[in-house]
Structure 1
Amino acid sequence: MDFDLDNLKTAGLGLGAALSVGLNGWLAFGRTWVRTKASNANDSQQINMLQFLSDQVKELKTENTHLRDEIEERDQRIREYWKTITETESRLQIVESQLEALKQQNESLREELRELVAASTNMSCELARIKNAERMPR
């Protein structure tokens, strides 16, 4: 077997080139595999974060609904309180106006009573004079 140095050099260069291409391919595959693995981990993490945020949104919607119901109940109670207050104010105004009318009527009755007392006193005096006049001979 005759090995020629040129053939050996050519074979060595071919083998070196093949090893270089193989090594570059293996390194490229490794980088791609690591990048894919990191990308998958990142995707999983993003999916988990989205699921977490979705769960939080659901919880906040539930809490929001609950708070809206509470606010509606409070608004209803406030409306009822205002209705009661308005009715009470109306009744109070009626009572106050009736009280004012009764005060005026009472004042009028007092005036009439004074006049009646004065008239009664005058009648008593007049009656006493008439009795005295009858007792006295003329």
Structure 2
Amino acid sequence: MAFEFITKEFLIGAGSSLASAVAGFMAFSRFWVSNKARNANDAQQIDMLDRQERGLDRLEKENSELRSQIKDRDEEIRNYFRELSVSNAKLQIIEQQLQNLKEQNELLSIQVGRLTETNKELASEVAHLRATMRT
């Protein structure tokens, strides 16, 4: 017989070896599939990190632009406030001068009234003196 080496022990050993090979192949394929899944997951995480980095760069750029706009508006507000302060000071000076002119006008009105009264009295005295001198 040509197959004399096939004995019970040989079949048990071959079966055990085959079972070990199948178990090893299954373990290797599980490892390979899980490794492939991890690699895909890592690639997705890298893509996600790239997207987040681009988003962060975009937000930083937008933040910088907004800070620049705020700085410009702040300077504009300071200029408006400066102009407003100067205008308020000028307005106070004008109001004070107007008040002084009103007071002077009142005093002048009183003086004109007195002068008019005095002038009437003087005219009446002159008329009286002329009348007295004619007689």
What TM-score, normalized by structure 2, do the two folds share? 0.95
1:1-138 equivalence runs, <5 A:
1=1, 8-136=7-135
SS in 2 for 1:95: helix
Q: Shift of the alpha carbon at 1:79?
A: 0.5
Q: Shift of the alpha carbon at 1:134?
A: 1.5
Structure 1 residue runs of 4+, over 6 Å off?
A: 2-5
Q: What percent of counterpart residues are identical?
A: 37
Q: Shift of the alpha carbon at 1:28?
A: 0.5
2: CA distance, partners of 1:93 / 1:18 = 108
What TM-score, normalized by structure 1, do the two folds share? 0.93
2: CA distance, partners of 1:13 / 1:42 = 42
- Which runs of 5 or more residues in structure 2 are unaligned? none
1:15-36: CA deviation from partner (whole Å, max 9, x where unpaired): 1001001000100110000000
2: CA distance, partners of 1:14 / 1:26 = 18
1: CA distance, partners of 2:56 / 2:118 = 91
2: CA distance, partners of 1:36 / 1:43 = 10
1:87-135: CA deviation from partner (whole Å, max 9, x where unpaired): 1110111111111111111111111111110111001100111111112
Q: Shift of the alpha carbon at 1:4?
A: 6.9
